[in-house]
Amino acid sequence: MRRALLTSAISALWILGATAAPAQDAQPAKATYDKWCAGCHGVDGKGEGFAAATMLPRPRDFTTALYQIRATPSGALPTDEDIRRVIDVGMPGTAMPGWAKHLGEQERMALVAYLKAFSPRFENQDPPEPIEIGSAPGESEEALAEGRQIYEKIECWKCHGQAGRGGGPSAPTLEDDQGFPIAAADLTESWNFKFVATTDEIFTRLMTGLNGTPMPSFADLIDAEVVTEEQLWRVAQYVRSLSPEEPEAKEVIRAGLTEGALPERVDDPAWAGVERFYVPLVGQVIEAPRWFTPSVDGVWVQALYDGQDLAFLVTWHDPSESP
């Protein structure tokens, strides 16, 4: 966790287009893909579009058929519904947006078939079957404590850290299957998860793993009787408890009035209970040198006022350990 008494940031959004090139001409979704997808994923689907070099994580290589967000076992192909879902809602925490509001239903369904055509695996293998996900057991303080214990036991902390902020000892060494650096998820910011951050979805990811990444499936630990299914549910509940709901960005930061002296240290007890305001950030991409993949994507701001002066406390998480 990084803190400072005062900070400022300038953010900007950027929009990338796509270049068209011949690929799978017989597919009805070619024009849609070339216009909206090829700029990142490339006209050949290998994840090497002109914008790809500016992105971490890198865009999906469709030719490998390794899809992270699935309801199928580790290493298996995704279902059509899995692919459609990512097209619809995107992958938070990455450059992949959701397209449900921009493309019609038929266009999105056609894209599913188009993406599958990049890999022969979909023709050569039987259609995948989703795994069965039951219902979460009841949640309690005792259940969350057990979830924390299992989190330790199955060594989630090695990547995600003891506090769940993605700063575990293995985090700096993580790479995807293509050799690109990949960050461990900050479990305290569920709005940046690559999927909808419900307990059910977290449990599903624990069972399926994320193909093409260091995130494994823990289903084999159930088979080996290292943990029970209920205990893995406890881990999912514990992980979900680490994050608040997605904060609403505010244009105005309100300072609390204090009758005492303004705090001069980041660890001053006076900050306890002071309202926090979330300010999202993006990289500076207007002037060279541009920074497309900053490790800090938001800060929390607190402010106190004594009638004359203001004090600010700015808190952020930075797994990169940059100064």
239-255 pLDDT, tens digit per residue, is: 999 999 989 888 899 99
Mean pLDDT of 286-296: 83
The pLDDT value recorded for residue 24 is 55
Comparing 30-124 with 141-241, is the CATH topology the same? yes
**In Å, what is the CA distance from 10 to each residue of 165, 285, 289, 297, 323?**
24, 10, 15, 12, 19
| Residue 115 banded pLDDT, cuts 50, 70, 90 | very high
The pLDDT value recorded for residue 2 is 53
Taking phi over 0 as left and psi of -120 to 50 as alpha, with beta for the rest, 135 belongs to beta
Mean pLDDT of 191-217: 95
Mean pLDDT of 162-185: 94
The amino acid occupying position 161 is G
Backbone angles phi, psi at 280, to 5 degrees: -70, 150
User: CATH number of the domain at 30-124, out of 3.50.50.60, 1.10.20.10, 1.10.3290.10, 1.10.760.10?
Assistant: 1.10.760.10
The pLDDT value recorded for residue 295 is 79
The pLDDT value recorded for residue 117 is 95
Q: Are strands 256-257 and 298-305 parallel, antiparallel or unpaired?
A: parallel
The CA-based angle 299-302-308, given to 5 degrees, is 135
Domain locations in the chain as residue ranges: 30-124, 141-241, 248-323
Neighbours of 126 (CB within 10 A): 6
* Joined tokens for residue 235: 């881990």
Residue 97: asked if its preceding bond is cis (omega within 30°), the reply is no
Nearest to 196 by CA among 158, 246, 151, 147: 246
Residues constituting the chain? 323
Distance (Å, rounded) from C-alpha 9 to C-alpha 279?
A: 9
> What is the distance in angstroms between the CA of the first residue and the CA of the last residue of the chain?
12
Distance (Å, rounded) from C-alpha 165 to C-alpha 185?
A: 7
Tokens 């004359």 -> residue: 308
pLDDT of residue 313 exceeding 50, the answer is: yes
pTM equals 0.83
In percent, the amount of the chain with pLDDT more than 90 equals 77
| Residue 5 banded pLDDT, cuts 50, 70, 90 | very low
Rounded to the nearest integer, the mean pLDDT of the chain is 89
Which CATH class, in words, describes the domain spanning 141-241? Answer: mainly alpha
Q: Which pLDDT tens digit goes with each residue over 45-75?
A: 999 999 999 888 999 999 999 999 999 999 9
pLDDT of residue 21 exceeding 60, the answer is: no
Tell me 41's DSSP state: H
Interacting residues of 226 by C-beta distance below 8 A, sequence separation 6+: 154
- Asked whether the beta carbons of 42 and 49 are under 8 A apart, the reply is yes
| Residue 16 banded pLDDT, cuts 50, 70, 90 | very low
Distance (Å, rounded) from C-alpha 232 to C-alpha 204?
A: 10
Nearest to 80 by CA among 114, 45, 120, 37: 114
Interacting residues of 131 by C-beta distance below 8 A, sequence separation 6+: 71, 72, 73, 204, 207, 208, 219
Distance (Å, rounded) from C-alpha 235 to C-alpha 72?
A: 20
